[in-house]
Amino acid sequence: MIALMLHDHVSAWLAVDTLNPENPPFAERLYRIGRYCMWAFLGSAALCVAYAGGRFGWEKWNGGAMESPKQIVGAMIGAVFCVSASQIINAVTQ
């Protein structure tokens, strides 16, 4: 009997008062910072790969020490890390 009465009160309260979550006042600024970080990560990934490729071409053209293949591998690993981080940031902010 008490359980039935409690169930009726709870169901009536839930049917009348639906709670809609809303963002805190500073959330939009944090989302904007997150989006800037995402673009910074993507831009840094592209710049790292472009720099390592340019250095590889420069060393190949001038007959240098050929240390840039290690840099290209590092740049590719860094690019994968940066793109993954930007996608995580994008998933969190949406």
Q: How many folded domains does the chain comprise?
A: 1
Q: How far apart are CA 35 and CA 42, in angstroms?
A: 11
pLDDT on residue 35: 81
Handedness of CA 9, 12, 16, 17 (dihedral sign): positive
The domain in which residue 55 lies consists of 39-94
With respect to residue 48, please indicate whether it lies within any of the assigned structural domains.
Answer: yes
With respect to residue 13, please indicate whether it lies within any of the assigned structural domains.
Answer: no
With respect to residue 46, please indicate whether it lies within any of the assigned structural domains.
Answer: yes
- Block means of pLDDT (10 residues each) for the chain, 94 residues, are 68 62 82 82 81 82 76 80 79 75
Q: How far apart are CA 24 and CA 31, in angstroms?
A: 11
With respect to residue 34, please indicate whether it lies within any of the assigned structural domains.
Answer: no
Q: Is the pTM of this model over 0.75?
A: no
With respect to residue 17, please indicate whether it lies within any of the assigned structural domains.
Answer: no
